[in-house]
Amino acid sequence: METISPHAARRLALFNAGLLLPMWTRLAPRAAAHALIRRFGYLQLDTVSVAGARSHSIVLMSRLPHCDAALGETLLAPGAPLFEYWGHEASWMPLELYPAFGWRRRLYAGSPWWGEVIAAHRDLARDLLRRIRTDGPLRALDLEGERDGDGWWDHKPAKQVALALWRSGELAIRERRAFQRIFDLPERVIPAAVRAAPEPTTVAALKLLLLQALAGHGWASAATLTQTFRLRGVKEELRRAFAELAAAGTITPCALAAPERGGRPAPGWILPAARDLADRLLRLRPSPEKPVLLSPFDPVLWDRKRVAQLFGFALTVEIFKPIGQRTYGYFCLPVLAGERLIARVDLKADRAAGRLRVVSLHPEAPAATGMTRAATRDLAARAVARFAGQAGLAVT
């Protein structure tokens, strides 16, 4: 089996992610955002906006200096080459991937949970579909029982039914306003040519999604690849997909060398062309002089085991911990300088006042960063200043 060093795998991951060298900066902001999403195959959505921008906006801002926080909130709109569906989590994905999730829509239709939601509320599901067909798109907020005044939506399960219909493909998300989903019929959201495209077999769809994931990651373990699009409930088909890709030479087994002597290599996969690219990237001298903040849910960071392997960085997400049990803060953003994660900052935005407060800053140890704590703090401050400018806030 071939091997790759953590250094080379890290360079490859950052290059593919548009974080090692500038990418997409010559495109208009919206086109650049679409190109970035096509690279990964998804942009994970998240509700937390305490830092002044939600995760999906932070992912764009970290790579696109000309992108502001507002763009990430408006990407899904009628005519955009995106659709919203359950990918890694709830995500915006390129329209060309819509047919590849047919197997998931079928699974949800017959699942023990989502299928039973519809089965238990068939009249409500029929009424919901009829109302949207007749009256037009419906906001998620309108399903919470306090709209219209006639009590028609005074059904606690209404929102769950809408989500079940979305997961099974009977509804689609037309757009989001103030991060609220707006439900509509698929024929009014997904272009006819996309809906008419032949739906691949489950194995063929899984192969496509595995290749999409590997193109984003560079090198990855089988677990990382399957978790990228949450490929669950299709164990036998997934085994066949890996086997067929390997037999065709489309993907190559490649182990990540252990960072310490005597450690065990971690098995994984790589695209054949990416192996040579990784070697060429080792010749670069990445400068730390343009540091950026990353979302903890960035495509490069959500797999915490992989982050430890490639960066030697212990990523933690402490949103659900009580204040007294947090080590770093509520929603800490790692600071990337060059190819190193050098610190993490916890930010709190006051939109009404136009201010961004640094709640805490935690530099990594000098032995890990190769720089003094003072230099690390300076770079972290630059990253915060850049982020604040894109978010339209002043640092306090």
Q: What is the mean pLDDT of residues 127-154?
A: 74
349, 52 in Cβ contact below 8 A?
Answer: yes
pLDDT digits (tens, 9 = 90+) for 202-237: 999 999 999 999 999 999 999 999 999 999 999 999
Does the pLDDT at position 336 exceed 50? Answer: yes
CA–CA distance, 57 with 73 (Å, rounded to integer): 7
pLDDT digits (tens, 9 = 90+) for 79-125: 999 999 999 999 999 999 999 999 999 999 988 888 888 888 899 99
CA–CA distance, 133 with 129 (Å, rounded to integer): 6
175, 182 in Cβ contact below 8 A?
Answer: yes
pLDDT digits (tens, 9 = 90+) for 286-321: 999 999 999 999 999 999 999 999 999 999 999 999
pLDDT at 14: 98
395's CB contacts (< 8 A; 6+ apart) are 355, 356, 357, 358, 384, 385, 388
* The two structure tokens encoding residue 339: 């190819």
As a whole-number percent, the residues of the chain with pLDDT over 70 amount to 96
Q: What is the mean pLDDT of residues 172-198?
A: 95
E-state strands within the chain: 2-4, 43-44, 82-86, 90-94, 138-139, 172-177, 180-184, 219-220, 252-256, 269-270, 292-293, 332-337, 340-350, 355-363, 394-395
Is the pTM for the entire model greater than 0.85? Answer: yes
Q: CA of 256: how far to CAs of 110, 220, 251, 266, in Å?
A: 39, 9, 15, 5
167, 114 in Cβ contact below 8 A?
Answer: yes
Does the pLDDT at position 329 exceed 80? Answer: yes
Does the pLDDT at position 150 exceed 90? Answer: no
